[in-house]
Structures are given as structure tokens and as C-alpha cells.
A = this chain, B = another copy of it.
Amino acid sequence: MSDSTKKHSATNLLWGGRFGQGPAEIMAQINASISFDKRLYRQDIAGSKAHADMLVASGILSAEDGDAIQAGLDQILGEFERGEIALDPALEDIHMHVETRLRDLIGDAAGRLHTARSRNDQVATDFRLWVREAIDQLDLALTTFQTTLLDQAEAHADAIMPGFTHLQSAQPITVGHHLLAYVEMASRDQSRFADCRARLNESPLGAAALAGTSFPIDRHATAKALGFDRPMANSMDAVSSRDFVVEFLACCSITAIHLSRFAEELVIWSSAQFGFISLSDSFSTGSSIMPQKRNPDAAELVRAKVGRIIGAMNTMMIVLKGLPLAYSKDMQEDKEPAFDAFDSLSLGLAAITGMVGDMTFNIDRLHDAASAGFSTATDIADWLVRVADIPFRNAHHITGTLVKMAEDKACMLAELTIEDMQSVEPQITTDIYEVLSVENSVASRTSFGGTAPVGVRAAIQAHRERLS
């Protein structure tokens, strides 16, 4: 072990050793949150302003002190916006930074601001405000994503491509129809975020440490001032619960999963072998040695980002597992995963929206791929059922025989003669050739939600109205 020890001391010099530090330093490092909760300065100040207003209105604080507090907080907000507040780990968190600066500015009156509240309800309020605003941002981004998809879907409402199952061509579909599937997903993602927003939009402010307060506060007033729908109904719950964070992260994760599926398709579609799309220069990277190459780096990164977003949700759930009420310091670990998931998801949404808006579909190649592989076989079977009244399972069997025949002859289904076909099933007439083109196949699928261009255009219109 002596050899390994030597190695250690060598690297130790380079890494610095946490164990050379005293307890105070270690405690400061693990305990302080200002390095990340600084991001809550706007919410923290907004919460304090609403609280101070209410204290004045409730007769707990004098109007004079109230005015001083408001003016001080406004100034501090400006200082934060302009980056003039130096962060000090000794002041631990954003609340202490604001309060300390306020005392500098207005003196003892600052000490009255904390009446009838506690850091426990204060931080819960700040964080709910932040998540609410994050949701509003993501909602906007999801709208832009959908609009961009709709534009491409409209431009390619008739363009034919293979519809895949198992990454094998199954039936022809339209490009527009395929893109609309992602509009549906994004639309549900949006509605999921909206539900999450409605559920979290309750005010913890005034729950105080955990038990409420004996001051005659008006929690409904602060709730209203901060845009909350109502105050939370139980003070223990108000300071202890973080299900809103888990739910937010679940919404982010599901959205990110959808993006990862689309990104995977973009990577596959932009391979030379598929050649279905070309990504723009903006959203691909080249190579100095192979100038013709466009690597789908942005798509790959979007595909990968789902990892850290799901990771963040796991982080939060594990922190909460088995945690007794009310506030425990464990909860301080709630913010960084939410921040990271939001940043990753909004970046991913921006990138994929950019890619979708910029990309080019290689229409001919898509059409050829859709036509290959006897992709209209099910149309024959449906014709047999519809026209010749053959039971579905039998019709399938007959069609299989025809496909085998075409495969043996190395021809397309449409190239089989009527005699060939009738040798398999006498009821077949030449009408059957009509269903064999991919154009007719696609046009025939007019069932609600089907791939027929007419249905695709109707769906685009409906989505545009929803989003307008």
C-alpha cells in the first residue's frame, strides 16, 4: 500500500485535499446554498414585497417601515439585476443576502420584515414562483416547437414517406402526418405542464416555520399579490411538500423523452443510408477534412439530454423518500435538479425547434423508400375484404401469397398481371390496381386521425386554432 500512498500524496498536491480543511470550512461548503439559490433573487424579493404590503395592511407593520422596506427591496432588485451584489458564502443563502443588504440600506426596520414568516415558508414560496415561471417559459417554447412542426407538416402534407414499425417499412404515410404525431405529444406535454402549474399555484407564505402564526396576517392577500390561486391549506404541508418539484420534473422528463424519440429519428434520417433529410449547417457540425459531411451533433445532444433530466427527477424523488415532516435540511437539495432540468429542456427545445425549422426533406428519396417492400400489401387485403367480402384473416393470407409471388418474380405488386392475381384469388378484378400506388393508399386512409392528406390538413388547421 505504500506505493499507492505515494501516488496519493503526489496527486493530492494538485487536487487540494478536503481533509486539510477545518470543520468550519467543510460545514460551510456543505451547508451554504447561495451558489445556486442566488437564482431566486427576483422571487425572493417579490415575496418579501408582498409580505411587507400585507403586514402594513394588517396593521402589523407601520406604513413608514413598510415604505422603507419597499424602497430598499426595489433598490436591491436593481442591484441584483446589475450584478452589483457580491455573494458571500458566510451569508449562506439568498434570503440572508437580501435581508442583510436591506439592513445596510434601511437599518432596524429591516428586522421587522421577517415578522410572521420563516425561512421555511419563504423558500417554499420563492421556489413555487420560480417553477411557475419556468413552466410559463417552457409553455412558450412548446408552442413555438409546435408551430414550427405545423409549418413543416403543412409544407409536406402530401409528401409520401414510409411508415415504420420495427424500423421496417410497413405502410406509406405522409411526412405531414408523421410530424403531427409530435405535435400531439407536445400538446399533451403542454397540458401536463398546465396541470402541474395549476396544482402548484398555491401560496405557502404565512405557514411560518411549520405551525402558522399568532399574528393576524392575511394569507389570501399575499397569495393574490403573488398571483397564486389561494393560500395552501395546511402549514405543515406548506413547508414540507415538494411534490410540485417532482411533478415538474416528471413533466420535463416526459417532454424530454418525446424529444429524444424525435432526435433519434433525425439522426437515423440524416444517415447516408436513409438520406431522408438534410440538416442545415446551423444545426450540424462539419469536419475540416470532409467538408461534405454534416454530423447531427445537435440532434444527438437533444437525445442525450433526457438522461440528465430523468436523473434530476430521480435525485428529487430519492431525496424525499422516507423524509419525516416538517422541514429537514435534505430539502435544500431540491433546487439544483430543477434548475438543471429546466436549462437542459429549454435548450433542447430551442435546438430541436431550430433543427425542424431549418431541415430539408429529400422528397424523392422518401417516396422511393415508401414504394419499396410491397408497402401497399395491406391495401390489397383491405380491398379483398371490402370488395370481395373475404374475411380479414383469409384476405391476409391471400395477400401474403401475392407478395411471395411478386418477390419470386422480383417485381412490384403492381407489376403482377391480372392472371397472376386471379390464379391466387379468382374474385380479384383489375380494380385492384387502383389501391396499389402509394398515393392512392395514403389518400384512402381517411378514417379520423388517418394519414390521408385531407385529414392531415384538417388536423393542422385544428392545431393552429388551438395554439392561436
Contacts and interface: CB of A to CB of B under 8 A. Distances in A.
B8 A140 contact: yes
Interface in A391-446: 391-394, 396-397, 399-400, 403-404, 407, 435, 442, 444-446
Given A322-B322, A354-B26, A447-B206, A11 B133 contact: yes
A314 B256 CA distance: 14
Given A168-B293, A178-B325, A445 B232 contact: no
Contacts of A217: 447
B168 A271 contact: yes
A301 B318 CA distance: 13
A24 B358 CA distance: 12
Interface string A1-21: 100100110011011011101
Contact of A213 (B165, B208, B316, B382): B382
Contacts of A323: 261, 264
A374 to B, nearest CB: 6
Interface string A440-465: 00101111111110010001001000
A246 interface: yes
A347 B30 contact: yes
A348 B140 CA distance: 39
Nearest to A264: B322
A301 B210 contact: no
Given A238-B449, A322-B261, A353-B19, A314 B307 contact: yes
A298 B206 CA distance: 27
Interface in A327-347: 327-333, 336-337, 346-347
Given A21-B350, A166-B267, A211-B445, 18 more contacts: A8-B136, A12-B140, A18-B347, A30-B348, A163-B209, A165-B210, A177-B234, A177-B235, A185-B243, A188-B199, A215-B447, A235-B449, A261-B323, A271-B273, A273-B274, A273-B369, A292-B373, A307-B317
A351 interface: yes
A69 to B, nearest CB: 12
Given A212-B452, A304-B333, A318-B310, A407 B291 contact: yes
A167 B268 contact: yes
Given A18-B347, A382-B215, A111 B295 contact: no
Given A191-B199, A322-B260, A324-B265, A449 B234 contact: yes
Given A169-B272, A323-B264, A354-B23, A307 B318 contact: yes
B296 A400 contact: no
28 contacts: A21-B350, A23-B283, A30-B302, A30-B350, A111-B393, A112-B391, A112-B392, A114-B392, A114-B393, A164-B324, A166-B328, A168-B296, A180-B234, A184-B234, A206-B449, A214-B444, A219-B447, A243-B254, A243-B258, A260-B320, A265-B325, A272-B369, A290-B400, A291-B400, A303-B330, A307-B318, A307-B321, A321-B322
B379 A214 contact: yes
A306 interface: yes
A172 B209 CA distance: 11
A305 interface: yes
A227 to B, nearest CB: 8
A247 B192 contact: yes
B351 A27 contact: yes
A191 B260 CA distance: 29
Contacts of A267: 166-167
A91 to B, nearest CB: 14
A168 B273 CA distance: 9
A267 B315 CA distance: 20
A28 to B, nearest CB: 10
B450 A211 contact: yes
A233 interface: yes
A277 to B, nearest CB: 13
Contacts of A115: 385, 392
Given A212-B446, A291-B403, A329-B295, A236 B24 contact: no
A185 to B, nearest CB: 6
